[in-house]
Structure 1
Amino acid sequence: MTLAEASDGILAQRAADGDAAAFGVLVRRHGPFFVAFATRLTGSRADADDAVQEALITAWDKLDELADPDSVRAWMLRIVSRKATDRLRSRRPAADIEELELPTSVGGPESQTIAHSQMEALSAALGTLPDEVRTTWLLREVGGYSYDEIAEQTGVPAATVRGRLARARRALLELMEEWR
């Protein structure tokens, strides 16, 4: 079996033992998702790239602390999320969210145009949300984090997370009404 065919758990164990090639496979396998997630979270591809790079350095340094190698992707995503959140806290949000990439195999030109317009509208709507509300929504809806995980990540009580999610969903429903 080649490294590319190995499970995340095996790759994580090998990387924890110092196998840089195994870690490289993990990075190539999950890196694009991490960058997309961080881009949506920070609203900036440059900040996302920096956050992911910092997260990967941290992950490499702390791989020996990973309790469950099979959950390496979720563990690394939490690190990416923390680094992206740190970047948000250290700056004012960018005025615009970079255009999100769409898969090129989404039907014909008409459906691609509609999907592109929907993503632009969602990006614009997310850009109107306060940082903490947008971060909470992205962690839940894009990252799949639980309320408790979001609370731990953002340093607020779970009740605050619920309130922020409710505000985000209400605002996005209003702003995306024409797409329903």
Structure 2
Amino acid sequence: MGEDAVGGPLPDDRVLLARLRAGDDLAYGDLYRRHAPAVRRFALSMPQPGIDVDDVVAEVFLRTLRAVRTGHGPRDAIRTYLSTVVRRLLWEWAAARRDELMNADELGEHAPRQRDHQSVQAEGELLARAFHRLPVRWREVLWWTEVEGHRPASLAGQLGLTPNATAVLAHRARRGLREAYQQAAELPVVGCLRHA
């Protein structure tokens, strides 16, 4: 079980997942800190040329967050769930890369980068903070389109919008997440270190 910032025992995964499902953002950070190293090791064990393992870890946790927040995802065996998401994500990204043609300049841009554990952890926390700053409707449409893989047209009726309006909403939500992430990244470092 591990200890939290004040030295007390951390709750087990089942409790953290229930808290996350109920909207507790701190539970996400606890789950990330607990499982990100294992997710990273697992992703490194299945190397894919041109795919950055840190991007894989961030995307795996974002997809898991989206699944849990919409009532899906793991309820207790989070490590197994995370491993499954890693496999699926690597397969999707490798398939997408096979369809892309790259020139020599792009090859240099996509070379794997090594980052330390603290920067990976900080990036995950920034992403979670940025996601939770978005309006609820944006978070929902991002979850359904990016995590669950729904097309905007299939969500239109559920959202009470036309298919075009749903696509525009999804586009704005993605742009909003990028901006929120950039804003979160520009905050002073002191403000980002909750558990220091």
TM-score band (shorter)? 0.3 to 0.5
Structure 1 length normalisation: TM-score?
0.45
Decide which structure has greater helix share: 1
Structure 2 length normalisation: TM-score?
0.41
